[in-house]
Amino acid sequence: MRFRNRLLILVVAILVPVFIGAALAVAWVYAEQQDKQERVIAETGHTFALLIDNEMRHHEGILRTLAASPALAEDDMDEFYAHARRAAEGIGAVAILYDMAGKTVLNTRRPLGSVIPGRDPSNLPALIQRFGAADTLVSDIFYAPPVRRYDFMMQVPVRIDGQVRYHLLLGLSTGLIQQLLARQHFPATWITTVVDRNGRVVARSHGGGRYVGTLLREETRRRIAATHESMVFDSRTLDGIPVRAMVTTVPKTGWKVLLNIPTAEIRRVPLEAAALLGGIMTVLLVAALAAGRWFAGRATAPIEYLGRCADRLGNGEEVAYHPHGLEEIDNVARRMTEASKQIRRAQHELEQRVSEAIRATEQAQGALLKSQRLESLGRLTAGIAHEFNNLLQTLTTALQLGAMLAKDPKLQSLIDTCKRTVGRATKLTGQLGSFGRVQEGRLLTVDPKLQLESALQLIRGGVGEAVAIDTDFAPELWPVTVEPLQFDLALLNLAINARDAMDGGGVLRICARNVSLAAPPQGLAPGDYLHLTVSDAGAGMAPEVMAQALDPFFTTKAPGEGTGLGLPQAYAFAAQAHGLLTLDSAPGRGTRVHIYLPRADSPPAPSVAEQPATLCQAGGSVLFVEDDPLVREAVAGGLRQAGFAVRVAESGDQALALLDGGLAIDIVFSDVVMPGDLSGIDLARAIRRRWPDLPVVLATGYTERRVALPDVPILAKPYDIAQAVKLLDGLVAHD
């Protein structure tokens, strides 16, 4: 789109909101004026209704004065007739007296004593039945043939000695209301109509004589009959003129006053204002478009000049600057001139940045390669740990059985030496598990205080004599479920980091407390935790360093002095124990490492020294499932020596086939990692599903799969054959 057209659009975009705002203002004024007119109409109608009510009360006063005449009380009809005739003729009305039987006693338009035929032409009898005769009643209008006009009646009861003896009526012409209406100075366009209860016209400001006695339209009668006070609605007059009608009720009579304003008049003023404003806005819009077109023509010349400068700049030419008097364009031209001088410098900087990008890419590739190697290392260590644990299981079982059979003290000493060597190898393979998931078979519920005291021996050897260790362990610490080797390794890593942060000397403080957290740190659920704190008085960490401190391989140490795996191992240990590790550090304030471990539900397990060291005698049949022939031979021999009847399977598939074939055994003892379609976990699930009463025990050297099977004990390889026998025998006996 050309710049000129954009300017025109800008002008229109500025004017259109203004025009819309003006239209909204007109709409608001229109609505306000309509509301104001309705309020004025309502007040006027109410006032006129009160005037009619006052007129009715005036004539009611005349009636009540006549009803209280002493002549009527003394039954002097001659005097009362004369008095009533004077009063009625003075207001152009007729006075009529009825007895309680409805018979006419006198009529001031007839001589006293003359017989008056016919019935009351008004609807007063119906009103008496509806409202009673104890108060003043005003009838609806009716046509009176003697006077050839529409009249209405007002009636009051005549009480003599406290009893109603007569009904005194005053016949009034509708001209009375017409005269009252004529005295009001309503606007000439307003159509004011007074109607009775039946919707007949009593008086009308336009053509009143022609419409008196005429019924309103049926829709209008229905609407005004539904209101008791006032209402506003759109309607049509008897002339067929569309109007906005305001209805007000006359209190004394129940008649209605309709103030009708033609709809055209209501809309005329705001429509004229809208038309005027619309015309003004149209003129302004046309003028603005013309001005914008003229200005756009002048504005495009400098822009075209900039285009030519850009062409020269693209060709490598030096741009000459020529002012055009437009500040923005001149600023761009000056910058283009400066840009032409900076191209060579930019090219040089670009070459440097490309070199830096290449180096960054090489570093990223190196980091990726390191990550891939770490993943491979984790898988490799897992496989090594599994194979070594199988070998160690064979050695452990053979040495334990050999120790039970050896009688020569020298041979027993050699076997003990071999057992200690196997124990060291077991610890080494356990450290390989730092790179993988925690092994469920190695999880133990421990006494934290005993575990901490055991770890202190490793820590003191790791930090050296220059670091003083200050401990503060609360009494009766809650037990926790952890892998003891990883627990010790995590504390050792934290201690070595603290030693390095203090340049080899200082105070290392280790604290342990029981805490109940209602609002724990993010990542923990509310509950009971063991809170370990390892703090030092070193240099501390800056925020950007602390943000990466838990990332594997991140280290601030010189190459060759740190692996960047100390803190990540401790963090992984806390996470594996369903806890959390957090850091609190700042430059110059040292570092505090907080470890939260959830409280265990069970008491601490007995120490290794408390476990039975001799092979107990057991009974029952065992299906032993193991793919490694050495482990299979050694462990099966130990189980047989303990008294079990052992049936061997080399895989989970073979074991399941034996059970399907009807093999009757008391317990299944299976390895986890095996060749074939069924692992030990899959075999245990199948047995739980098909033979729920058959106990299952699993053993593992290392696996990435979580067992997650209730009531399925797990032994970590290498396990003590005596402990295995005791566990199997206990499950068989329990079953």
Mean pLDDT in the chain? 79
146, pLDDT greater than 50: yes
More confident site: 371 or 10? 10
User: Which residues neighbour 592 within 8 Å (Cβ) at sequence distance 6 or greater?
Assistant: 533, 534, 535, 583, 584, 585
**Lookup result for tokens 């196997």:** 422
Gap between the Cα atoms of 175 and 406, Å rounded: 143
- Residue 226 placed within a domain: yes
Q: What is the pLDDT of residue 1?
A: 53
For residue 379, count other CB atoms closer than 10 A to its CB: 13
For residue range 61-110, what is the model confidence (pLDDT) as tens digits?
A: 999 999 999 998 888 999 999 999 999 888 889 999 988 888 888 999 88
Together in a domain, 224 and 368: no
**Lookup result for tokens 């009715």:** 56
Percent of the chain's residues with pLDDT above 90: 18
Together in a domain, 86 and 213: yes
- Residue 430 placed within a domain: no
Element housing 199 (H / E): none
**CATH classification of the domain holding 369:** 3.40.50.2300
Together in a domain, 583 and 648: no
347, pLDDT greater than 70: no
Give me the number of domains the chain comprises: 3
| Mean pLDDT value of segment 175-196 | 89
More confident site: 542 or 565? 542
272-290 CB burial, b ≥16 within 10 A, e <16:
eebeeeeeebeeebeeeee
Q: What is the pLDDT of residue 43?
A: 85
**Backbone φ, ψ for residue 377 (5° rounding):** -65, -40
450, pLDDT greater than 80: yes
DSSP class of 437: P
Together in a domain, 352 and 484: no
For residue range 586-615, what is the model confidence (pLDDT) as tens digits?
A: 888 889 999 999 999 888 876 544 444 566
- Name the least confident of 171-185, 245-259, 306-320, 384-398: 384-398
Together in a domain, 398 and 467: no
String of DSSP letters for 272-306? HHHHHHHHHHHHHHHHHHHHHHHHHHHHHHHHHHH
- Identify the domain containing residue 112 by its residue range: 35-277
10 Å CB burial of residue 433 (0-12, 13-18, 19+) is buried
Cis peptide preceding 718, ω within 30 of 0: yes
Contact 201, 193 (CB under 8 A): yes
Residue 497 DSSP SS3: helix
Q: Could you report how far apart the first and last alpha carbons of the chain are, in Å?
A: 88
Could you give the C-alpha distances from 306 to 295, 336, 422, 451, in angstroms and in order? 18, 9, 85, 79
- Residue 698 placed within a domain: yes
Examine the fold and report which residue of 545, 565, 598 is the final residue of a domain before the chain moves on.
598
365, pLDDT greater than 80: no
Together in a domain, 706 and 586: no
Which one of 517-531, 564-578, 709-723 scores highest in mean pLDDT? 517-531
Report pTM: 0.40
Structure tokens at 668: 């299944």
Together in a domain, 562 and 623: no
- Residue 308 placed within a domain: no
Contact 169, 157 (CB under 8 A): no
Q: What is the pLDDT of residue 373?
A: 43
Gap between the Cα atoms of 723 and 608, Å rounded: 10
For residue range 414-425, what is the model confidence (pLDDT) as tens digits?
A: 666 665 666 555
Q: What is the pLDDT of residue 726?
A: 86
| Mean pLDDT value of segment 27-38 | 73
- Name the least confident of 199-203, 489-493, 697-701, 716-720: 716-720
Together in a domain, 492 and 633: no
- CA atoms in the 13 A half-sphere facing the CB of 613: 10
Together in a domain, 120 and 153: yes
Gap between the Cα atoms of 603 and 583, Å rounded: 30
User: Which residues neighbour 605 within 8 Å (Cβ) at sequence distance 6 or greater?
Assistant: 444, 445, 446
- Residue 307 placed within a domain: no
- Residue 187 placed within a domain: yes
- Residue 133 placed within a domain: yes
Strands 580-585 and 591-598: antiparallel
269, pLDDT greater than 70: no
**CATH classification of the domain holding 96:** 3.30.450.20
- Amino acid type, 516: S
Together in a domain, 195 and 229: yes
Structure tokens at 398: 């053979």
Together in a domain, 529 and 671: no
String of DSSP letters for 5-42? HHHHHHHHHHHHHHHHHHHHHHHHHHHHHHHHHHHHHH
- Residue 438 placed within a domain: no
**CATH classification of the domain holding 585:** 3.30.565.10
Contact 730, 642 (CB under 8 A): no
**Lookup result for tokens 């770890």:** 455
pLDDT class for 377, splitting at 50, 70, 90? very low
Gap between the Cα atoms of 368 and 416, Å rounded: 47
Residue 528 DSSP SS3: strand
712, pLDDT greater than 60: yes
Together in a domain, 587 and 619: no
For residue range 277-293, what is the model confidence (pLDDT) as tens digits?
A: 778 878 877 776 777 67
Examine the fold and report which residue of 598, 628, 658 is the final residue of a domain before the chain moves on.
598
